[in-house]
Structure 1
Amino acid sequence: MSRLTDLITKAKAKDADLGRELEREFKALSSRRSFGLNFERHRPENVELPGRPIRKGDKVRILPERGSTKKGDQRLWKVTSFAGKGDERMASLSLLYTDEPEQAEASVADLVVVAEFRDYIYPGLVSTGKVERGEDKPFHTVINGENFHALEALTFTHRGKVDVIYIDPPYNSGAKDWKYNNRFVEGDDQYRHSKWLAMMERRLFVARELLNRECSVLIVTIDEKEFLRLGLLLEQTFPDANIQMVSSVINPKGATRASEFGRTDEYLFFVMFGSASPSPTQLGTEWKVTNDRRASKLRWAELLRSGSNTKREDSPNQFYPIFVLNGEEGPEFHSVGEANFSDDWHEVSPPEGCEAVWPIRSDQSEGNWQNSAESLRALIKKGYAKLGKWRGSSTAVTYLKKGEQKKVEAGVFPIIGHRQDNSIIVDDAAYQPTFIPGTQWRIPSHNAEQGGTNLLKNFIPSRKFPFPKSLYAVEDTLRFFVSKKLNAKVLDFFSGSGTTAHAVMRLNKQDGGRRQCISVTNNEVGADEQAKLRKDGLRPGDLSWEQWGICDYITKPRINAAITGQTPDGQLVKGDYKFTDEFPMADGFEENAEFFTLTYETPVAVSHNRAFERIAPLLWMRAGSEGSRIDKLPTNGWGVVDCYGLLTDLDQAAPFAEAIHGKDSIRIAYIVTDDERRFQSVVRQLPETVEPVRLYESYLTNFRFSMGR
């Protein structure tokens, strides 16, 4: 039910006539759609937080009894007090959002904390493990938590710092592939599409705050069920971006559907900000564009204009003669004449021993050259213009465009000599061509079955994940935007099986990069598995339940296995990586990764330093997720590690500042104080290259406003 219809229903309950009037006006307004995407912005999701300790003042839901598969009481209660201890602890509850007061008592064990969308959150992180094989490389991070709240947490650590966001959201195909308000959305839900759009829009609003607006890209994959709506949503959310869509074949055999064409492809939306654009890259032979043999050498373009604006009158300044001397070793440039605006150009006399070559097209009509006479003279002098074989009384004239000139000047094509016409001769033996492909991708390695499902089995045998992306498809997609950014920060907040992080590690191995991936997933259990677990008397939060969740059962083991080269059972990963670089999967990667679970703190605990151990990972991530971390409050009032420092006792500012000056790798100095004057006093002692951050004011302020709400 949408938020408006929900409010109308409540109005009807109080005043039937008023409710009917409101409903009539609502229907009239909803029938007049303005141009663009219109959808119901439904009552936002409520998030259950199993395992979170119950506190006085919390909003909670009463769980159904163990062993029941019923939906349970969806109403929200406020905890007003506690009685008893241990397993016998009881909570007194007061019903929220009702005109009729209602009180109740329930066992604390039968309650679950609920975070409403409207609530401010104060996030923390608890480390649940790490793998280190990358020496001083920055860490990839995996966050287990509700992805909207995780995005909010990242606004403190990565606002404006993310170079690429790659997401593969639920496709809303009608299967039980995503939840809304703690329920799986059925295919026959009349609000299915608007619920999906509302869910996506709220997350995209926050993601927008994370992107580097000078040069970054958001990549979203989708299928035919929602691509039209998604395209409009992206245009409305990011009006300043350049948006393009690519169609990619992921299942050449086609997914069989009753009374429909088999689906073979999916779509990728590229939302490019600032100067972002796909970079030409070296593509494997499976990309058909590499069949263009001309691309493997220095490309000489025809000087005679073709295509549009080819007539003399289109560019009269570029109708001029080129005087060519036909020598014994071939034609040579003698000189370039001036633009001719008369009809008697045939009467122009060339210098002695020369022939005049005019821009005459194959149908003998008058055309024009691509360059002005002055520009061509400069090209000839540099050796960037070339003559073809002499054919009777004429010859072809070619030149190097600016892109090809840059390749020569950068040494990509070393000059090893000159021809008789002064055109350069280059060595192209070692050249590897780069390309930007078209918008139709039919690449064998992007097959989701081979590069996704079957490949995943190598890393986590006997464990299944529905429809994982091809590792090579994600790798190729990212390469167009991070090939020149060896320190790129990549975010995937619908992480699933962890393919994006795996692809980033592949890219790092290929070029020695230090790119980082932040993967956000939850520990959701599939619909069928949930029913079985509930029948067994289990609930979310129980260890026997959580072990089957996506993060613990799939994402973390997959990333761990990719780095170490060993399966969760300790066996060497079988098989070899293919395509761009081929090596045994058992070799693993020289990378680091740490796994975290999102926590929810109180502002009082934060401001009084009682939540420092959960805030510490956020401080480390903001400083770059590199090196060691300050996990406990320093006993001497300050601490300095690889990339940041922390000052808790302002009387120790002098030794703190001295230690900061002694390390060039320090990026951030966190200073704990409520006194702005004393904060500025410490700042003046720090290097200008170090970013000062006042704790906990900066942290609390960051989360005191509504993000995508």
Structure 2
Amino acid sequence: MSRLTDLISKAKAKDADLGRELEREFKALSSRRSFGLNFERHRPENVELPGRPIRKGDKVRILPERGSTKKGDQRLWKVISLAGRGAERIAKLSLLYTDESEQTEALYSDLVVVAEFRDYIYPGLVSTGKVERGGDKPFHTVINGENFHALEALTFTHRGKVDAIYIDPPYNSGATDWKYNNSYVEKDDAYRHSKWLAMIERRLILARELLNPNHSVLIVTIDAREFLRLGLLLPQIFPEARIQMVSSIINPKGVSVAGGFRRADEYLFFAMLGDAAPKRLRLSKEWSPSSIVSGTSKIPELDEAEEQTSVRRTEPAWTSMMRRGSEAARADRESMFYPIYADPESRVIVEVGEALPQGVDEAPEKEGLVPILPIRRNGDQGRWQISAAELRTRIKQGRIRLGRPTSYGFVVNYLPDGAYEAVLSDTFEIEGYAHDGSIIAFQIEDGDDRIAPTQWKIESHNASEHGSGILEQLMPGRSFPFPKSLYAVEDALRFFLFDNRDAKVLDFFSGSGTTAHAVMRLNKQDGGQRQCISVTNNEASAGEQAKLREDGLRPGDPEWEQWGICDYITKPRIKAAITGQTPEGQPIKGDYKFTDEFLMADGFAENAEFFTLTYETPVAVSHNRAFERIAPLLWMRAGSAGSRIEKLPEGGWAVADCYGLLTDLDQAALFAEAIHGKDSIRIAYIVTDDERRFQSVVRQLPDTVEPVRLYESYLTNFRFATGR
């Protein structure tokens, strides 16, 4: 029931006549439905915070006994007082939201703090690890916490700064895939759809505050269960946006649906703000309409349809390095009969040997490598086109690659001088380099860049092969339900981030971390410094929870938390992608495919840091007692790059790579001098309650530096500006 219905019921209990009058007027109003999506906006959600220390005044829930699989007491209590120490500590509690006073006592260890979404929060972050391979590039961040509260935290750090949001929210299948107020939403829940809408609406309203209103995009993937409702909700939240829906085949075989057609596709909603629009890109033949709908030659754009021809991508003229025709025998050029050593697993040339002496027909063996000699199919000895020294040079230029395997090793292909010159000219586009260092280049024929159609049937978007399959390669033995194809997410983002190499991307239903992985792929292709903020909780799966409870464990126990999504899947996946190693420290097997092909074991030149969301008190914040938890938010607001000021500076001020902090205003002159000396400074945080002194410091700073008054700006943000 909605909050208003609850209040009417309470009114009826106190005054039956008044309650009936209110109910009659409520029904009359609710029957006058306005055009658009109408649904029950259920009572605000709440979330349990296992592991969070319990303070006097907190709202708590009493946990069921260890070993019990029962749901337990869902009522909320307020902590009146705490007494005792250690395991014997006792909390005195008073029942909330009841007309009759009720008090009880409970062991401290049997309580869990509950945060209601109607309450103000004052967030902080605690770092739980990092991986650094990207030099001075900005950090990707992963936040473990309730995504509604994480979004509120980001209103302080990223309001109006996010360029793209990609989310894959729960599809509301009824198969314990999401919770509303600590309870799984089942298929037979009469309010199942309105609960889902209430949940997603609250988060999209906050997401709207984060998106750049002048140029940004929200991408939401959904399936048939909620796409109609989502399609009505989005225009209500983003009335100024241009919204399109794309149908995408993610499972060509299809999934059985009881009493219905096999489901093979899902849908992507694109809500484009400001002047954001999909980029015209050079697309492979798969994207052409003829490969999707037979007989059509037009691709619809946003506002019009224009004539399009099929796109053909032609590779350069790779040629076998085996000499053909005249003077092609070993005897014709003995110096060009030499071995090439390759790793048979990675198909990479590791070493180029010297010419074999006359009478020596076999190359020296090298452990783990396959020697390749210019032997013809009939067994005759041939020769290579170029010398060993020239081959080494061309390998460095990206002009050599291995082809199909043969009885004598592999076919060795190369780019002759004419083909190489063509690749370097304007007629070809170099897209990157394969894992063996060879050039990936294409000549685009028959037309210009294209706008993609609204139906996608792309091989690389197969979620089974390129979602679950890639996850298995990254983290053998670990599974996650229905991960997105890495390349599908990459493609969707590329249309809007192609020209923005410094884009800030957010995924607040990050699950296995596919969005961050896709952003790293985009960066590798063009040297970009895009950042991704991934938000997920650490909830264990429904099946895992039942087993853990039977074992006497509870949320917050280390043995429980190790199986949570964030700790077991998201963080290890992003770390594995960057380092090129599995969680067990082994090189990841396999190659990345499509657009940019290279070994997964190569990893990425990227940085990432992992955080857990904390809940602070306004008193602790304003008195500088929570600075170490606020510090990561200050760093994120300044760009998540470079060094971070972790503790209050003893000298009254400090300057990091991208921001500065002034805590003693008597040191303002020295602080301003240091700020003027660093062009990389973006923000100056000034701790003061005095507006006049704050403005005095601001006048000493460069115009290019944003002044922020602490902690007034922080506290004000979460008191008044979070959309409640």
- In the superposition, the TM-score normalised over structure 2's length comes to 0.78
* Per-residue deviation, 1:612: 0.4
* Per-residue deviation, 1:706: 5.6
- CA 1:582–1:256 in structure 2 vs 1: closer, same or farther (change >3 Å)? same
Counterpart CA distance in 2 for 1:235 and 1:429 is: 38
Counterpart CA distance in 2 for 1:524 and 1:457 is: 21
- CA 1:291–1:470 in structure 2 vs 1: closer, same or farther (change >3 Å)? closer
Counterpart CA distance in 2 for 1:478 and 1:289 is: 21
Equivalent residue for 1:269?
A: 269
Contact 1:221–1:268 (Cα < 8 Å) also in 2: yes
* Per-residue deviation, 1:533: 0.9
| 1:489 corresponds to 2:500 | no
Counterpart CA distance in 2 for 1:536 and 1:605 is: 38
Counterpart CA distance in 2 for 1:704 and 1:654 is: 32
Counterpart CA distance in 2 for 1:28 and 1:608 is: 51
Equivalent residue for 2:352?
A: none
| 1:165 corresponds to 2:165 | yes
Equivalent residue for 1:249?
A: 249
2:459 maps to which of 439, 444, 457: 444
* Per-residue deviation, 1:32: 3.1
Q: Match of 1:199, SS?
A: helix
Q: Match of 1:281, SS?
A: coil
Listed as ranges, the matches of 1:193-272 within 5 Å are 193-272=193-272
| 1:611 corresponds to 2:626 | yes
Listed as ranges, the matches of 1:383-462 within 5 Å are 433-462=448-477
Contact 2:287–2:453 (Cα < 8 Å) also in 1: no
| 1:655 corresponds to 2:696 | no
Equivalent residue for 1:475?
A: 490
Counterpart CA distance in 2 for 1:153 and 1:24 is: 41
- CA 1:226–1:482 in structure 2 vs 1: closer, same or farther (change >3 Å)? same
What do you get for the CA RMSD once the two structures are aligned? 2.1
Counterpart CA distance in 2 for 1:621 and 1:430 is: 44
Q: Match of 2:601, SS?
A: helix
* Per-residue deviation, 1:168: 0.4
- CA 1:29–1:676 in structure 2 vs 1: closer, same or farther (change >3 Å)? closer
94-103 vs 257-266, which moves further: 94-103
Equivalent residue for 1:284?
A: 284
Equivalent residue for 2:554?
A: 539
Counterpart CA distance in 2 for 1:434 and 1:576 is: 28
* Per-residue deviation, 1:676: 1.1
* Per-residue deviation, 1:118: 1.2
2:616 maps to which of 578, 598, 601: 601
Contact 1:120–1:706 (Cα < 8 Å) also in 2: no
Equivalent residue for 1:360?
A: none
Equivalent residue for 1:570?
A: 585
Equivalent residue for 1:369?
A: none
Q: Match of 1:486, SS?
A: coil
Q: Match of 1:503, SS?
A: helix
Counterpart CA distance in 2 for 1:590 and 1:472 is: 19
One-letter amino acid matched to 2:41: R
Contact 1:284–1:579 (Cα < 8 Å) also in 2: no
- CA 1:412–1:35 in structure 2 vs 1: closer, same or farther (change >3 Å)? farther
Counterpart CA distance in 1 for 2:714 and 2:291 is: 54
Equivalent residue for 1:401?
A: none
Contact 2:245–2:269 (Cα < 8 Å) also in 1: yes
One-letter amino acid matched to 1:491: L
One-letter amino acid matched to 2:604: F
- CA 1:592–1:431 in structure 2 vs 1: closer, same or farther (change >3 Å)? farther
Counterpart CA distance in 1 for 2:157 and 2:540 is: 29
One-letter amino acid matched to 1:69: T
1:554 maps to which of 555, 560, 569: 569
Q: Match of 1:70, SS?
A: coil
Counterpart CA distance in 2 for 1:16 and 1:572 is: 71
Q: Match of 2:143, SS?
A: strand
One-letter amino acid matched to 1:508: N
> Residues 138-197 of structure 1, C-alpha deviation per residue, up to 9 Å, x if partnerless?
000000000010000000000010000000001112211111001110111010111111
Q: Match of 1:216, SS?
A: strand
* Per-residue deviation, 1:474: 0.1
Equivalent residue for 2:313?
A: none
| 1:132 corresponds to 2:147 | no
- CA 1:514–1:9 in structure 2 vs 1: closer, same or farther (change >3 Å)? same
- CA 1:584–1:412 in structure 2 vs 1: closer, same or farther (change >3 Å)? closer
- CA 1:639–1:92 in structure 2 vs 1: closer, same or farther (change >3 Å)? same
Equivalent residue for 2:73?
A: 73
- In the superposition, the TM-score normalised over structure 1's length comes to 0.80
Contact 1:628–1:641 (Cα < 8 Å) also in 2: yes
* Per-residue deviation, 1:33: 1.9
Counterpart CA distance in 2 for 1:261 and 1:31 is: 36
* Per-residue deviation, 1:471: 0.2
Q: Match of 2:37, SS?
A: coil
Contact 2:167–2:219 (Cα < 8 Å) also in 1: yes
> Residues 16-74 of structure 1, C-alpha deviation per residue, up to 9 Å, x if partnerless?
44444444443443333221100010001011111110001111111111111111111
One-letter amino acid matched to 1:254: G
- CA 1:654–1:240 in structure 2 vs 1: closer, same or farther (change >3 Å)? same
One-letter amino acid matched to 1:152: E
523-532 vs 191-200, which moves further: 523-532
* Per-residue deviation, 1:536: 1.0
2:513 maps to which of 472, 490, 498: 498
One-letter amino acid matched to 1:642: D
Contact 1:412–1:431 (Cα < 8 Å) also in 2: no
1:513 maps to which of 528, 545, 557: 528
2:605 maps to which of 590, 593, 599: 590
Equivalent residue for 1:391?
A: none
Structure 1 alignment gaps of length 5 or more? 293-305, 308-410, 415-427
> Residues 616-670 of structure 1, C-alpha deviation per residue, up to 9 Å, x if partnerless?
0000000000001000111111111110111111111111111111111000011
- CA 1:31–1:412 in structure 2 vs 1: closer, same or farther (change >3 Å)? farther
Q: Match of 1:247, SS?
A: strand
Contact 1:146–1:521 (Cα < 8 Å) also in 2: yes
281-290 vs 605-614, which moves further: 281-290
Counterpart CA distance in 1 for 2:574 and 2:643 is: 21
| 1:687 corresponds to 2:721 | no
* Per-residue deviation, 1:681: 1.2
Counterpart CA distance in 1 for 2:22 and 2:445 is: 73
Counterpart CA distance in 1 for 2:72 and 2:291 is: 61
Q: Match of 1:61, SS?
A: strand
Q: Match of 1:703, SS?
A: helix
- CA 1:429–1:497 in structure 2 vs 1: closer, same or farther (change >3 Å)? closer
Q: Match of 2:204, SS?
A: helix
* Per-residue deviation, 1:289: 5.1
Q: Match of 2:10, SS?
A: helix
Equivalent residue for 1:189?
A: 189
Counterpart CA distance in 1 for 2:444 and 2:217 is: 35
Contact 1:205–1:707 (Cα < 8 Å) also in 2: no
Equivalent residue for 1:579?
A: 594
How many correspondences in the alignment?
A: 582
Contact 1:203–1:708 (Cα < 8 Å) also in 2: no
Equivalent residue for 2:640?
A: 625
Equivalent residue for 1:424?
A: none
Counterpart CA distance in 2 for 1:232 and 1:497 is: 28
Contact 2:246–2:268 (Cα < 8 Å) also in 1: yes
Q: Match of 1:621, SS?
A: helix
Counterpart CA distance in 1 for 2:24 and 2:653 is: 65
Contact 2:663–2:688 (Cα < 8 Å) also in 1: yes
Counterpart CA distance in 2 for 1:252 and 1:14 is: 59
Q: Match of 1:507, SS?
A: helix
Q: Match of 1:631, SS?
A: coil
One-letter amino acid matched to 2:47: V
One-letter amino acid matched to 2:495: F
Listed as ranges, the matches of 1:8-27 within 5 Å are 8-27=8-27
Larger radius of gyration: 1
> Residues 534-572 of structure 1, C-alpha deviation per residue, up to 9 Å, x if partnerless?
111111111111111100000000000000001111111
Equivalent residue for 2:179?
A: 179
* Per-residue deviation, 1:596: 0.2
Counterpart CA distance in 2 for 1:175 and 1:291 is: 35
> Residues 409-432 of structure 1, C-alpha deviation per residue, up to 9 Å, x if partnerless?
xx8899xxxxxxxxxxxxx88999
- CA 1:62–1:434 in structure 2 vs 1: closer, same or farther (change >3 Å)? same
Equivalent residue for 1:400?
A: none
Contact 1:246–1:268 (Cα < 8 Å) also in 2: yes
Counterpart CA distance in 1 for 2:444 and 2:83 is: 82
